[in-house]
Each structure stands twice: as structure tokens, then as C-alpha cells.
Amino acid sequence: AQTVTQSQPEMSVQEAETVTLSCTYDTSESDYYLFWYKQPPSRQMILVIRQEAYKQQNATENRFSVNFQKAAKSFSLKISDSQLGDAAMYFCAYRSAARGTGNQFYFGTGTSLTVIP
């Protein structure tokens, strides 16, 4: 099974500054999808951003962008102009695009982000 590793259990950032959350994954597949999900104190899991492995261009969603390094199997999330509402647990996730049964997502253990006013 694929594994997803988030080596930073906790991170903090000053409001309006930029922070980068790290994620690495292990796979032998060439086609897959990567995601960042946000879990605020409300516990709701919210999709932040998604990247297709076959695309070289890094995905961007407003203040959120990724640095996708396929060869290094690295998928980091950059949050620019951090806001208090960005405080949450962030999960990196992997999904295979290979044909087969199931549609399983593999999640990392999460990074808790604190935003300091």
C-alpha cells in the first residue's frame, strides 16, 4: 500500500506571512492524484487543493499553492498571506489513478497549523 508521510506534526506562522507544509509519499505508480485537505476545529474535512501527477504545472487556488516534485515524491503546500481562519489540521492525501477495484485515498497523519495574530 502507498504511504503518505507528514513529518511536521505542528507548525506555526505569523498572520500575513507565508508557511510551507511538507508531504512525501511512497509509490511505484506513475499516474496518481495528490490532495491537501484542511480540518478546522469544526472537524469538517475540506478539500484545499488537488494535483494530477501527469501535470507538471503546480496547482494553485488563491492563496494556496503546491510544490510538486514527482521525482522526489514530494508534495508541499504553501499558504501565502496566512489568515487566522487558516488555523487547522492539514492532511496530505494520495489516490491512485491505476485501473482496478476501489478508489482508496491514503492520508498522512496531519500537520497542525497555528496562526499567530
Partner 1 sequence: DSGVTQTPKHLITATGQRVTLRCSPRSGDLSVYWYQQSLDQGLQFLIQYYNGEERAKGNILERFSAQQFPDLHSELNLSSLELGDSALYFCASSVGGVQGTGKDEKLFFGSGTQLSVL
Residues 6+ apart with CB under 8 A from 5: 23, 24, 25, 26, 108, 109
HSE value, Cβ hemisphere, 13 Å, CA-based, for 71: 0
Determine, following the binding rule CB under 8 A, whether residue 64 of this chain makes contact with partner 1: no
Q: Determine, following the binding rule CB under 8 A, whether residue 105 of this chain makes contact with partner 1.
A: yes
CB of 110 to partner 1, least distance (A): 5
With binding defined as CB under 8 A, does residue 100 bind partner 1?
Answer: yes
Question: Which three cell numbers mark 112?
Answer: 497542525
For partner 1, the closer of residues 97 and 116 by Cβ is 97
Among 10, 68, 8, 62, smallest CA distance to 35 is for 68
Is there binding between residue 97 and partner 1 (CB under 8 A)? Answer: yes
- Of 40 and 81, nearer to partner 1 (C-beta) is 40
- DSSP 8-state symbol, 112: E
Q: Is 38 one of the binding residues for partner 1 (CB under 8 A)?
A: no
Residue closer to partner 1, measured from CB, 43 or 56: 43
Residue type at 50 in one-letter notation: R
Q: Which amino acid would we find at residue 83?
A: Q
**Interface contacts to partner 1, rule CB under 8 A:** 33, 35, 37, 42-47, 50, 52, 91, 93, 95-110
